[in-house]
Structure 1
Amino acid sequence: MTTPAYPPKPVPGDRVAVISPSAALPGVLPLPYELGLERLRKEFGLEPVEYPATRRMGSTPQERADDIHAAFADPDVRAVMASIGGDDQITVLPLLDRELIRANPKPFFGYSDNTNLLAHLWNTGIVGYHGASVMCELGRPGAMDPLTAESVRAALFGSGEYELRPAERWRDVDRDWADPATFESEPETRPGTGWTWVNADRVVEGRSWGGCLEILAWLLMADREIPRDLSVHDGGVLFLETSEELPSGEEVFRVLRSMGERGLLRRFSALLMGRAKTWSFERPNSPAEGARYAAEQREAILRAMRAYAPDTTIVFDVDLGHTDPQIVIPYGGVIRVDGPARRITVTY
């Protein structure tokens, strides 16, 4: 197993590929997408480059694989960023040319269904970046959240340590991307509640692995991009988060139980759990209902970890994944979890 290495970073003025490895929602909901492209240019000084399937809904897995190959192979493109997630990127994985990607390592940014490509890069020997999609984070109404923007900038251009900090304010409720009025103001936020620590009596430093829990469950079922030798994760940092599909606490427990039965959970010395997404258009929970949902998820995770990895350090409500603000997490990069000091540091 090749230890993931950090790819070279872009600098302002470089070209960055914008691809849709899952759903080509830029073709259906252009407002957040065009706003995200504008911010790439004006706020980050990067020139986005689109590919044939970026805006084409219904593109085949092969067409999306072709875009990934073209983006990584182009010597003038210095980073690759997903427009958004989706739900069928697992069908693209068998079509990827691992040697082509290995020969052209680049920073890739995405999350949710892009956990597929991030896991593929991990096994290819390339550190990826969990977070920062064009439509969600860069296309946020009103303005990018300052904490998100700071993290994205550090991950895009930096190569050193970056200390995470809990969001002072956060939001859970989404607004209609098809309505231009959505983009005239920033979304409403609520006060942050900080992180919750469990078994915080040690310092853990190791390489990260994980992503969106629902996508990891699919990868486990299909037996794709899961290392055969699980010892590569010994002493590492697992990070997980759940999506706007709002899986039940029992479903979350069952996925973690399966990971435990496979021998995965006990390998990691720390778990960072993203703040649970508790609202969706299909389930517009009140704040009280959302709090109950989050509490049920936390108890499900604790139940599984007590059974399979009782000594693991756990940090709940980290600003990663389907949340706003969002901090980019290096996928395969080094993370230090300092329990006694209550500090989390990533290396970009």
Structure 2
Amino acid sequence: MPREIVHPPKAEPGDRIAVLSPSFAAPGRFPAVHEQAMRRLTEITGLVPVEYPTTRQIGATPQARAADLDAAFADPSIRAILATIGGEDQITVIPHLDPDRARADPKPFLGTSDNTNLHHWLWDVGIASIYGGSSQVHLGPGPAVDDLHARSLRAALLTGGTLEITDPGESEDVGIDWADPRALTTFGDREATEPWSWSGPARSVTGPTWGGCLEVIEWILTAGRFRFSPDALAGGVVLIETSEELLPARQVGWIVRSLGERGLLGAAAAILVARPPVSDHQRRPPAPERARLRREQRDTILGLIDRYNPDAVVCVGVPFGHTRPQWILPHGGTITVDGARRRVHADYR
């Protein structure tokens, strides 16, 4: 990736972390889950969460949410920023942000899903970020925080270093409804994972990452906010994951095909595809059907990558994005995808 990317300094225990809702203010609707997430955040990291006016304000304007982000970047006592959850309208927040404030004091930003907008904005500004870490999904619900999530959270915020990204052996598409008190103490329905699928040459690739939620990437490209040649991704690792909207494989393929036509797939040296959710609170097909839906999406994506970039090292099934347990991964930082040894390592420098 022939671009200069600044890696923000790590926080230290006792520092303050801004907890914001740049998309949907889920803490305002489900405060118990949010408050448990804040306690666990401090227990795991030693950081002190700081809420802003729109953290719990459902329906806050894009301007107000942008003002909170700008304020967090401008406050020297804030050493990291965590999004509570995604949503579907963060694209309207981005035009109101001040890039000079972010550049003046770069800080780790963590978020997933609709926060792909912010990750791409920061990448445009020249600041690395961390894909993952929704407090409302991965910190607040359930009897505890998953170990792999806690380890990558500490690496992203505090310690840096390199971690091997591994398969936890189990996965859930969706947890207990947050309006149900059991959400605070019970995981969702978990099932055994399948082995990751590898494709492409048996070689090792190390490069900076770019990507995120596929549906949001489509919106960003439609809005004309990717202003670079595909060469900006040359030698890098593209991250692709799909959301709880449960797009059929055919529609996922249409978006991936467009990335191929844009030249973005062809520029990458490696591509990581997340394990997709295939059920939600209203729709949970039987286990064989869920497995079929995951295979269909995998085969569709692999077929398109083979068409546009047969030399890419590809791994499908990695737990990041919209399933749980979830690894937090660098965005603009470095990942090694080793097609020979079939291993993935993330550098959280």
Q: TM-score, normalised by structure 2?
A: 0.96
Q: Is the 8 A contact 1:4 1:123 kept in 2?
A: no
Partner SS for 2:291: helix
* d(CA) in 1 for partners of 2:97, 2:223: 16
Q: Are 2:339 and 1:329 equivalent residues in the alignment?
A: no
Unaligned runs of 5+ in 2: none
> What residue in structure 1 maps to residue 262 of structure 2?
262
Q: Is the 8 A contact 2:45 2:158 kept in 1?
A: no
**Amino acid paired to 1:271:** I
Q: Are 2:303 and 1:303 equivalent residues in the alignment?
A: yes
Deviation per CA, 1:69-114: give whole Å up to 9, x if none: 0011110010000011000000011111111111110000001000
* d(CA) in 1 for partners of 2:343, 2:306: 23
* d(CA) in 2 for partners of 1:163, 1:43: 20
Unaligned runs of 5+ in 1: none
Q: Is the 8 A contact 2:177 2:281 kept in 1?
A: no
Q: Are 2:59 and 1:58 equivalent residues in the alignment?
A: yes
> What residue in structure 1 maps to residue 276 of structure 2?
276
Deviation per CA, 1:172-224: give whole Å up to 9, x if none: 24211001122233334222323211114111111100000000010111111
1:164-179 pair list within 5 angstroms: 164-179=165-180
> What residue in structure 1 maps to residue 147 of structure 2?
146
> What residue in structure 1 maps to residue 342 of structure 2?
342
**Amino acid paired to 1:313:** V
Partner SS for 1:43: helix
**Amino acid paired to 1:197:** W
Partner SS for 2:138: helix
> What residue in structure 2 maps to residue 97 of structure 1?
98
Q: Is the 8 A contact 1:319 1:327 kept in 2?
A: yes
> What residue in structure 1 maps to residue 288 of structure 2?
288
* d(CA) in 2 for partners of 1:256, 1:186: 32
**Amino acid paired to 2:150:** A
* d(CA) in 2 for partners of 1:193, 1:295: 10
State percent identity of aligned pairs.
Answer: 46
> What residue in structure 1 maps to residue 32 of structure 2?
31
Q: Is the 8 A contact 1:112 1:211 kept in 2?
A: yes
> What residue in structure 2 maps to residue 130 of structure 1?
131
* d(CA) in 2 for partners of 1:7, 1:219: 24
User: What value does the CA root-mean-square deviation take over the aligned residues?
Assistant: 1.3
Q: Is the 8 A contact 2:44 2:154 kept in 1?
A: no
Deviation per CA, 1:259-281: give whole Å up to 9, x if none: 11111110001110000111112
Q: Are 2:74 and 1:73 equivalent residues in the alignment?
A: yes
Q: TM-score, normalised by structure 1?
A: 0.97
Report the more deviating stretch, 165-174 or 215-224.
165-174
* d(CA) in 2 for partners of 1:187, 1:60: 32
Q: In 2 relative to 1, CA 173–56 (structure 1 residues): closer, same or farther, beyond 3 Å? A: closer
Q: Are 2:203 and 1:240 equivalent residues in the alignment?
A: no
* d(CA) in 2 for partners of 1:286, 1:227: 43
> What residue in structure 2 maps to residue 220 of structure 1?
221
Superposed displacement of residue 2, structure 1: 4.3
* d(CA) in 2 for partners of 1:125, 1:182: 38
Superposed displacement of residue 303, structure 1: 2.2
* d(CA) in 2 for partners of 1:68, 1:189: 35
Q: Is the 8 A contact 1:253 1:303 kept in 2?
A: no
Deviation per CA, 1:309-344: give whole Å up to 9, x if none: 122111010011101110011000011111111111
Superposed displacement of residue 229, structure 1: 2.2
The count of aligned residue pairs is 347
* d(CA) in 1 for partners of 2:159, 2:43: 18
Q: Is the 8 A contact 1:253 1:300 kept in 2?
A: yes
**Amino acid paired to 2:293:** Y
* d(CA) in 1 for partners of 2:195, 2:328: 17
* d(CA) in 2 for partners of 1:252, 1:75: 41
* d(CA) in 2 for partners of 1:187, 1:23: 22
Q: Is the 8 A contact 2:204 2:340 kept in 1?
A: yes
> What residue in structure 2 maps to residue 113 of structure 1?
114
Q: Are 2:323 and 1:312 equivalent residues in the alignment?
A: no
